[in-house]
Amino acid sequence: MKISVLGTGDVGQTLAKKLIESGHEVMIGTRDVDETLARKSIRHGNPPFSEWYESNKDVKLGTFQESATFGEIVINATNGANSLNALDLAGEETLAGKILIDLSNPLDYSKGMPPSLLEGLNNTNSLGEEIQKEFPQAKVVKTFNTMWCGLMVNPGMLDGGNHINYISGNDNNAKARVKDLLKEFGWKEENLIDLGDISAARATESVLPIWVRLLGVIGNGAFNFKIVK
């Protein structure tokens, strides 16, 4: 399958590499290809994108619009504060009819750490809902936004994979296809919890404040939540 990954950060890189390993064709999307390749900054101890790209040449690279055009499924792995703008650049007509997997969170770092949720995208609204409103013909599915990217693609690294991942969206067929993709990563059916329509993104995005606090206590992102009945 051809899959677009919008975003060249840690999350986008991790997903793109896993998808290639799983046999998919992948194009990673960015705002400005030349600027992205010219970056020398190091994030979270990882090398610049250009070094990662040099080691992952099976991944194609293009603009947001080129990548979204390429993919049968589009994954939004951009910074939540910039996601709507990035998707605008991808193009409403380009995204129409496609499954749009949204991993982003509306985090506000304007007052430093820990972040809060952006005003207007909390409590009675969410970024997932805003994306669905702005791109009504896309089939938005919210998932993976409550965990570290390393765990997204390798759930078995913790407790044999016995921990939870939420999924929500308005289109049941789209959610079923996304579940199939997640199972390729090793997620078990019983640990994929369907919370209903896209309004459930209000709840999963609200997990981030406690997740960030726990990250500070635990010291790394290799943790997740599970339900005990």
Asked if omega into 155 is within 30° of 0 (cis), the reply is: no
- pLDDT exceeds 70 at position 43: no
Q: Write down the pTM of the prediction.
A: 0.95
Q: What are the structural domain ranges in the chain?
A: 2-218
CATH topology of domain 2-218: Rossmann fold (3.40.50)
Mean predicted confidence (pLDDT) in 86-105: 98
Quote the pLDDT of residue 12. Answer: 97
- Could you give the 3-state DSSP secondary structure of residue 82? helix
pLDDT digits (tens, 9 = 90+) for 176-210: 999 999 999 999 999 999 999 999 999 999 999 99
Is 7 in contact with 29 (CB distance < 8 Å)? yes
Q: Is residue 113 pLDDT above 90, yes or no? A: no
Quick one: pLDDT at residue 229?
Answer: 87
Residue 98 binned pLDDT confidence (cut-offs 50, 70, 90): very high
Mean pLDDT of the chain: 95
The predicted pLDDT at position 44 comes to 64
Structural contact between residues 88 and 31, judged by C-beta atoms closer than 8 angstroms? no
